[in-house]
Structure 1
């Protein structure tokens, strides 16, 4: 009888403890449910979100053999740091050839300028001679008219008139010859000036070509365009590359990071630009990050896909679409550096009631 009473007391104790535990669990569940409902009512949440930052390709602007690779994977680099060196001997040879051609063209220009000056002076000489021949022709014409009158009055012989006529014809021919030589010299001056213009155009072409060759020489040293971190290294010394080839990737450390949170279309009704957001990264679940909404996508994510859905095919199934929301990270740099591109995050944005 005593043993049965002892078991009865024990059973009561166990039942009491179990009831207390069940009650505590029920209270906890109720509190958790209330908090969850409160959170659902006042906040919009999504775990379809990733960290984004600018990851740009490092592209070769010159082709050739790689002579040096001066970075390692994940290395921090500064703007202007040399990343890759390309064999530049071919480019320097082309630059030297163009420099020599430019020197030759400038020398030719000096020759043609000198020739233009010489021909111009020759033209001036012929112009002066024309004036002399004109004066001589006038003189001989006066002399001819005078002797014609003298012959009419029989004061001069016909032989003398013929001699004066011959002198007049000679003066006239000399004037014609001087005029033709003057016109020819003008043509030579114009031809020389045209050739001078051709050489000047060639000089401009060679100067532009030389600038291009100098640029090509600078392109053989591939440098970082901004502060950042290098990505995976896939090239090595001795590798042949072509212009436009992607050599590596660099993560831009000068710009802010942002979150692309893909919210359901039914969740963005109360959101607006400038709203604050909080989020945690799966890598740092106990670390709270902050951000601010800076833009909404102009279309759903599926609309930008390679094959956007066509609901007019007769197989329509309504699916809640996602709207990408861009959120700029506002944490200090030492905290935002913990976030890496592609990390999954869980975003919460308070509703605007």
Structure 2
């Protein structure tokens, strides 16, 4: 065989091989720009304080609620005690305001009943005196007529002087009685008037009720503010304990007893939850990729293990678009670059004894010809 034929045969074999490979993988898209992801929580204190105790070490597995780090609780305990004292004072003040209003209303009602009764008694006495006065006036008028008649008869010597004296004496007696009863009626009128004034005074005193109610509202507001202050102090006291928010593994424990920490500084990292794969495909590869399609996954950490999974979701935007500093293409110096779009893949199962960690490199192949939907 001539060299030309040999060379032609080699190129033909290579072309057939490449064509067969391309045909075989025509329903696949692959990328090595893929990594293991997992829920990563940066644990930081909610309050500033001095670290009293560190109960966890790097790479330690913990359960949700496990105490990891404890700050010195003494300043917060003092704050709670102060808030409790403030709440006690506010409650006492509110109780005193309520008692003052209740006492005032009770006294007001008692005075109203007493003065109403006094007015009724005064009015009854006045009516009695007025009736007695009217009877005396009638008797006096009759006695005067009798005296006049006896005076005429005495001039005619038809009655004795004694009878005339008796008639005039009765007139004088009734006149004195009338004067006395007039004074009694005036006294009773004065008593009735005073009782009416006293009742009107109660109406003015009743205007103090809205003032006392306003004091209760003010005391209630102070009590509610004190309750909030106590709740905040208790929350800060609880925040002296940093606990694991979920099951997982703690790493990067970056503090020691005696250190001063603040809310802006993470003191540990918690890795938790079920791991997933984030694969960054070129935008040109996503034409036929949809959620639910199966995928083959290989990890550099476990090169001999074959993982299977499926497409869970596709990010609605390129990775560059959601970066801290997205590219600005309006400067006039535009160079077209194929963008990559993050695709989230979920593992169907994780072989027993294997553990995944965020950041591990992966190679992902999605079978676009197999739609599970």
Q: 1:90 to 1:345 in 2, by over 3 A?
A: same
> What's 2:39 paired with?
54
Q: State the alpha-carbon separation in 1 of the partners of residues 64 and 318 from structure 2.
A: 36
TM-score with structure 1 length normalisation?
A: 0.80
Give yes or no for the alignment of 1:250 onto 2:263: no
Q: 249, 265, 274: which one pairs with 1:229?
A: 249
Q: How does 1:196-235 map to 2 (within 5 A)?
A: 196-235=216-255
> What's 2:260 paired with?
240
> What's 1:174 paired with?
194
Q: 87, 92, 97: which one pairs with 2:77?
A: 92
> What's 1:15 paired with?
none
> More deviation in 260-269 or 28-37?
28-37
1:260 Cα offset (Å)? 1.4
Q: State the alpha-carbon separation in 2 of the partners of residues 78 and 136 from structure 1.
A: 83
Q: Deviations over 1:27-84 (max 9, x none)?
A: 9978964664345423211111111111111121122111111111222111111111
Q: State the alpha-carbon separation in 1 of the partners of residues 332 and 121 from structure 2.
A: 107
Quick check: 1:231–1:250 contact (8 Å CA) kept in 2? yes
What root-mean-square deviation, in Å, do the aligned CA atoms of Structure 1 and Structure 2 show? 3.1
> More deviation in 193-202 or 300-309?
193-202
> What's 2:297 paired with?
279
> What's 1:342 paired with?
359
> What's 2:337 paired with?
319
Quick check: 1:258–1:326 contact (8 Å CA) kept in 2? yes
1:304 Cα offset (Å)? 1.9
Give yes or no for the alignment of 1:294 onto 2:312: yes
> More deviation in 155-164 or 301-310?
155-164
Q: 133, 142, 145: which one pairs with 1:147?
A: 133
Q: How does 1:4-83 map to 2 (within 5 A)?
A: 33=18, 36-83=21-68
Quick check: 2:133–2:182 contact (8 Å CA) kept in 1? no
> What's 2:147 paired with?
none
Give structure 1 stretches of 5+ with no counterpart.
1-21
